[in-house]
Amino acid sequence: MATTTYLSSPNITINSVDLTDQAHAATLTVKYDALESTAFGGSSRVYTAGLGDHELTVDLYMSYAATETYATLAALVGTATTVKVKPASGANSATNPEFTLTGTYLEALPVMNASLGELSSITLTFKGGTYTVATS
Partner 1 sequence: MAYRIISPRIGALGAIYEPSEGINIDALLAAGFIEEIATSSPKSARTKTTTEAPDAEQTEE
Which chain residues interact with partner 1 by CB under 8 A? 15-19, 66-67, 71-72, 74-76, 79-82, 102-104, 129
Rg (CA), the chain: 18
- Report in angstroms how near the CB of residue 76 gets to partner 1 at its nearest: 5
Burial tier of 3 (Cβ tally within 10 Å: 0-12, 13-18, 19+): exposed
CB closer to partner 1, 80 vs 88: 80
CB closer to partner 1, 110 vs 128: 128
Q: 39-49: buried (b, 16+ CB within 10 Å) or exposed (e) per residue?
A: eeeeeeeeeee
- Report in angstroms how near the CB of residue 107 gets to partner 1 at its nearest: 15
- Report in angstroms how near the CB of residue 44 gets to partner 1 at its nearest: 40
- Report in angstroms how near the CB of residue 70 gets to partner 1 at its nearest: 9
CB closer to partner 1, 47 vs 64: 64
Give Cβ neighbours of residue 5 (< 8 Å, ≥ 6 apart): none
**87 alpha carbon, distance to own chain's centre:** 12
